[in-house]
Amino acid sequence: MTVDKASPFVIPTIDISAYLKDPGSPEAKKIIEDVRNACMNTGFFSLVGHGISKELQERVFNASKAFFALPLEEKRKLKAPPLLNRGYEQIGSQALQEDTKPDMKEGYYIGMHISNDDIQAKLHPEMVGENIFPPQLPAEVMKEPTEQYYKEVFKVGCKVMEILAKGLPYGDDIFKEFLADNPICSLRLLHYPPQVESDEKQLGAGAHTDFGAVTLLLQDDAGGLEVLNNQTGDWIPVEPDADAYVVNVGDMLAMWTKNIYKSNTHRVINKSTKDRYSLPFFFDGAPDVKLAPFDDSEPVGGRVLTVEQHMLERFGTTYGRAKVEVAGA
């Protein structure tokens, strides 16, 4: 499909409940088509009918608020090296965009809890291992809701991967290896303070594409997420919708499909006058899977990375860049 140059920039709303009920139904076929079209067009869609309860989502937002309200000195203790995708990162740790100030957001990563003695953790010590939680917050406040939520969004993410496979011409099991043996995913709690002064170099999250296969994002009602319309250069706001996950294609899907599926640029600026909280869930997959085009043609850029190599490169670039800024400040 070619995108009509005059076509408006649309982030469609796709209700997947009929697919969840019966993946063989005619309604499910339409959902597969709609998801495929969204991936080829803007790389974004708004997913409803996911089945995750408001109550659980609310508990996770509350966990996030309780955590970020802790004193900075206590939050700073919550790191789990050599793991890169667990624990706390303070404001200014990452610069998702080049030539900007480091991002004005703080975050907390939670993953699949796997013992550090497990062979997978030993093989992939930067990406696979144990979750950590602040001792100050009772388990029912942070650990339980966030780990439960991780499980439920993971299940929806697996369904999205299944729907994606069915919309591609490479067989329904094209992501089998990617989804095998506890694929790496991260739930990220994010907090953006309000940006009182407008400074074009200071973003909440600088313009970037996501690193993984897909992202499932829940945002609160503050607004501030914007997607780039590549044809016009305009930034299109993604309006908050409490019922919806903003789902977007990440770099891995773009690499596998040679950019037929668009890993689109987006950014966050919290222009509201209150704190903004969001919960992206990144589906990054099995670390040894190769990010080579599915059609066996030459990869864009000529180089094939594994999931892990790609993730470490993107973590290294975006966190490394912020370190340089801080050091030179």
Ligand X SMILES: O=C(O)CCC(=O)C(=O)O
**Torsion of Cα atoms, 264 then 96 then 164 then 7, to 10°:** -10
Region for 195 from its dihedrals, namely left if φ exceeds 0, alpha if ψ lies in -120 to 50, beta otherwise? beta
Minimal distance, residue 122 CB to Fe ion, in Å: 30
Please identify, using beta-carbon distances, which residue of 257 and 278 lies nearer to ligand X. 278
Residue 217 near ligand X by CB under 6 A: yes
| The entry of ligand X, Fe ion, none that residue 94 binds, CB within 5 to 8 Å by partner kind | none
Q: Which residue has the tokens 């063989």?
A: 24
Tokens of residue 62, six digits: 């509350």
Residue 226 near Fe ion by CB under 5 A: no
| The entry of Fe ion, ligand X, none that residue 86 binds, CB within 5 to 8 Å by partner kind | none
Residue 270 near ligand X by CB under 6 A: no
Minimal distance, residue 14 CB to ligand X, in Å: 19
Interface size with ligand X, residues (CB under 6 A) = 11
160-199 footprint of ligand X as x/- string (CB under 6 A): ----------------------------x-x---------
Residue 35 near residue 167 (C-beta atoms within 8 A) = yes
Minimal distance, residue 248 CB to ligand X, in Å: 8
CA distances from residue 83 to 48, 59, 279, 282 in whole angstroms, order as listed: 33, 26, 20, 16
Residue 97 near ligand X by CB under 6 A: no
137-166 footprint of Fe ion as x/- string (CB under 5 A): ------------------------------
Interacting positions 202-221 with Fe ion (CB under 5 A):
210
| The entry of ligand X, Fe ion, none that residue 228 binds, CB within 5 to 8 Å by partner kind | none
Minimal distance, residue 209 CB to Fe ion, in Å: 7
Q: How many CB atoms lie within 10 A of CB 5?
A: 7
Please identify, using beta-carbon distances, which residue of 78 and 222 lies nearer to ligand X. 222
Interacting positions 224-243 with ligand X (CB under 6 A):
225
- In the list 34, 89, 106, 210, the residue contacting ligand X (rule: CB under 6 A) is 210
Please identify, using beta-carbon distances, which residue of 183 and 280 lies nearer to ligand X. 280
| The entry of ligand X, Fe ion, none that residue 219 binds, CB within 5 to 8 Å by partner kind | ligand X
Residue 268 near ligand X by CB under 6 A: yes
Residue 279 near residue 64 (C-beta atoms within 8 A) = yes
Contacts of 236 (CB under 8 A, 6+ apart): 9, 11, 226, 227, 228, 229
Please identify, using beta-carbon distances, which residue of 42 and 120 lies nearer to ligand X. 42
Closest residue to bound Fe ion by CB: 210
Interacting positions 280-319 with ligand X (CB under 6 A):
280
Q: Give the residues lining the site for ligand X (CB under 6 A).
A: 188, 190, 205, 210, 217, 219, 225, 266, 268, 278, 280
